[in-house]
Amino acid sequence: MKKTFFLKYQFFIITISIIFWCYLLGFNFISPTNSDWLHLGDMSQTQLGWKFFKDDIWRFPIGFNPNYGIYFDGSIVFSDSIPIFAIFFKSIKFFLPENFQYFSLWILTCIYLQLFFSFKIIFKITNNLSYSLVGSLFFCTATIFINRSGLHLSLMGQWILLSTFYIETTEYKNKLLYKILNLMMSITIHFYFTIIIILFYMFKAIYDFLQKPTRVGVILKEFSLISVSSILIMFLVGYFTINLDDGLGWGYGYYNYNLNSFFNPSGNNYVYNFNWSQFLPEQQYQNKEIEGFSYLGIIGILFLGLFFVNFFYKKYQIFYDNYKILTISLLFLILATSHNINLGDDNLLLIPINNLMYALLSSIRASGRLVWPVYYLIFIFGIIFIFKIFKDKYPTVIILILLFIQILDISSGLQNYRFGFQYINKNSQELKSKIWEGLSKDFEEIRMITPKNHSSIYNRLSKYLLNENFKKTDIAYLARVNRESIILKKYELINLFNQKNFEVFKKTIFISDNINIVRNLYYLYKNELYYYYKDNLWIISAVSIDKIYINESIEKLLDPYEINLAKTNTVNLTKGEISPIGMGWLQDIEKNNLVIDGYFASILLKIQGVKCHKNSKIIIKLDKYFKKYNELINLNLVINEGHKQKININNDFDNEVSLKFDCKVNEINKIDFIVDQPKSLFDLKKGLNRTKKSIILKSLVING
């Protein structure tokens, strides 16, 4: 009997899973050897993280992935590559095809487990097979579940929340063990699930303690075991490859839940913006509150109403009493909404919080995601409530009708996910030049001149990197990185370039989208390097790639910023594509200012006019960047690698420096700004930003 029962519901769940899998991906994208769809937004980092992890040796911790983001200190965790799948498939990589991806299998797994655990929850309470099977379909068509299939694949693992609820409905002797294993599983999927589960247990424990204070010993024992096991698995899969403060990120109060989110059908993926509902109009969000997207659908809104009806009248109990469910849900909603409380595009309240509290909450910066357990509790409750009301009046027929109405409502949203439409962006920028093809055969590394996590260059090259086989790259996108390492590497590269170091180009190509920085590189290395400008990107290497394009590209570098003293003597510091700035600057275009970024920055300009001679004068207006902090800044100005002047800048500095120099007519004049021991906000213990900003260059005037 049990075997027949098992086969019945498993046949249904597996069949629906495969049908819905094919609907979401199409027959082309379900293939594990097709990764063409994994290049949009955050999906590119998941596949690239896996690609570099698979091709690397085993390291410890086992999720450490240093070749993807060379000095980011990243792991498979921070590329959202689903560590449990990545580690498993790496262990059998010798049996896998070269272009293997497991994300289509992951989506199938998520659909199946979404159905499985929702079925188990409903059946545990109703003991009705057909009702439970139909009820489970609400969960595989949940808007918050489908939404993530077009944005963040790892976050489709929402079944782990359902498994948490299912454990709560059971009376296992070893229930704590199941809780721990479930939590450890969440750690190997995505840390937001871990946060939600821990918060769920915390809120439940607080409620239980308030009801029975004598349970404090049991609660402490459970949390001690959960904490130790969680930290251990986090260490093994690579959560601690970066510093703890690097795990904090800006965004709490920005990526939050809007108070209209349950009723707002405004949806999006990387290809479309659309309305999920056939019946309700789209409403406004603020900022990035799309992270809190949680449209319930017409029937979900009905279920929400039924909860309050039950709360005040019927008093049906699901797996907790109503007060407990309400308390847990309200606590999640408060955190999800954050201190920035919005209703549509109206800000109702912005609660000030101190830096320490903000730092603590920044670990859940995309707080809108914390609404997910509330969303699922609404559906669990609503489905069970309907069963109890119509228990003897064809409940399966009733829930089937409600499911039909729900799917009818959200069908306009589901159409945007049919057969992989959410992965086909016809407007994506493709690399057209053949010069890119096969570069990984001749170069081991592909890097940026100015390293940055999730740069515009990454957005351009992510799909290209998927199809090449470079061993290492810093053109990467990770959820968390070693901030200090990236900044220091950027400054180290500037120093190596100024030393005209060739070793840094060994088996490496550099990429830039900034002609002024490449022009600075050309000034230093001249024709000892090769420069190619294709698809609006610069490729720089120490060996020839394609001689056809060399002269064409160098001509662009021979056209430097030029100032004619007969017309003006004021240098425009932020003049569009051709400007005087070299390496080592941050631009403030609105104020027409430059900020020195690090230890070394350069200005390069060609001067024309009779006023350019040996006794010319440069007048530079400077200012401290961190004026409120009483830090002395030592600045060395070097003109044309000859004349030097040292300036001590404190809070009383008069902002103007005048220097004589030997002006070269129709040649490149170079001004170097060398800062001794610049400070960052982190150095000053005022923030997490490691960028060492010291001096603002406000103006530069040349007089005869």
Asked if the model's pLDDT at residue 680 lies above 60, the reply is yes
pLDDT per position as a tens digit, 75-108: 999 999 999 999 999 999 999 998 899 999 999 9
Q: Contact at 8 Å (CB) between 587 and 594?
A: yes
Are 368 and 449 members of one domain? no
Residue 526 pLDDT > 70: yes
Looking at the fold, whether 254 and 346 belong to one and the same domain comes out as yes
| Euclidean distance between the first and the last CA atom of the chain, given in angstroms as a whole number | 100
State yes or no: pLDDT of 1 exceeds 80: no
CB hemisphere CA count around 157 (13 angstroms): 28
pLDDT at 489: 94
For residues 183 and 213, membership in a common domain is answered with: yes
Answer yes or no: is pLDDT of 551 > 70.
no
State whether 586 and 498 are in the same domain.
no
Q: Which of 19-23, 189-193, 302-306, 418-422 has the lowest mean pLDDT?
A: 418-422
Domain boundary among 557, 589, 622: 557
The least confident of 81-95, 108-122, 184-198, 220-234 is 220-234
Q: What is the DSSP string of 313-358?
A: II---SSS-HHHHHHHHHHHHHHHH-SEEEETTEEEEE----HHHH
- Cβ-Cβ contacts under 8 Å for 202 (sequence gap 6 or more): none
Evaluate if residue 200 carries a pLDDT over 70: yes
Residues 553 and 576 in one domain: no
| pLDDT top residue among 280 and 641 | 280
Interval 427-482: pLDDT, tens = 667 788 889 999 999 999 999 999 999 899 999 999 999 999 999 999 999 999 99
Q: Which of these three, 365, 386, 419, is where a domain ends?
A: 419
pLDDT at 323: 86
**Residue 185 confidence class, pLDDT cut points 50, 70, 90:** very high
> Quick check: 336 pLDDT over 90?
yes
Average pLDDT over residues 556-582: 81
pLDDT at 576: 66
Residue pLDDT, tens place only, 282-294: 998 877 788 999 9
**Where does 461-523 show beta strands of DSSP type E?**
472-473, 508-512
The CA distance from 296 to 472, in Å, is 44
Q: Rounded to whole angstroms, how far apart are CA atoms 204 and 580?
A: 61
Strand duo 273-275 + 266-268: pairing = antiparallel
Inside any domain, residue 237: yes
Position 683 in a domain: yes
Tens of pLDDT, residue by residue over 576-635, are 677 888 999 988 766 678 899 999 999 998 888 777 888 888 889 888 888 777 778 889
Kindly calculate the radius of gyration of the chain based on its CA atoms and give it in whole angstroms: 30
Same domain, 483 and 398: no
What's phi and psi for 401, nearest 5 deg?
A: -65, -45
Per-residue pLDDT at 239: 94
Adjacent-strand bridge partners of 588: 593
153/237 same-domain check: yes
For 676-686, what is the mean pLDDT?
88
Distance separating alpha carbons of residues 465 and 440, to the nearest angstrom: 9
pLDDT at 417 over 60: yes
pLDDT at 421: 87
Average pLDDT over residues 157-181: 91
296 with 400, same domain: the answer is: yes
689 shares a domain with 620: yes
| C-alpha to C-alpha distance for 58 and 42, rounded to whole angstroms | 25
pLDDT-based confidence at residue 659 (cuts at 50, 70, 90): confident
In this structure, the answer to whether residues 294 and 340 fall within a common structural domain is: yes
Q: How far apart are CA 288 and CA 368, in angstroms?
A: 9
Residue 41 confidence (pLDDT):
83
Rounded Cα distance, 439 and 544, in Å: 11
In the prediction, which pLDDT does 590 show? 65
**What is the arithmetic mean of pLDDT over 483-508?**
94
Say what the pLDDT of residue 625 is: 86
**CA–CA dist 561, 193 (Å, integer):** 52
**pLDDT-derived band of residue 362, with 50, 70 and 90 as boundaries?**
confident
**589 part of a folded domain:** yes
**Co-location of 112 and 166 in the same domain:** yes
For residue 39, which of 356, 491, 448, 462 has the smallest C-alpha distance? 462
Return the higher-pLDDT residue of 421 and 145: 145
Counting the structural domains of the chain, the total is 3
pLDDT of residue 217: 76
Together in a domain, 251 and 324: yes
Its domain, for residue 544, covers: 436-557
Q: Mean per-residue pLDDT for 107-125?
A: 96
The reply to whether 473 falls in a domain is yes
Rounded percentage of the chain residues whose pLDDT exceeds 90: 57
Share of the chain above pLDDT 70, in %: 97
Q: Beta strands 562-564 and 693-703: pairing type?
A: unpaired
The region, left, alpha or beta by phi > 0 then psi within -120 to 50, assigned to residue 116 is alpha
Neighbours of 227 (CB within 10 A): 12
Q: Is the residue at 53 inside a domain? A: no
- Among 557, 585, 610, identify where a domain stops: 557
Kindly report the average pLDDT of the chain as a whole number: 89
When pLDDT is averaged across residues 308-326 and rounded to a whole number, the result is: 81
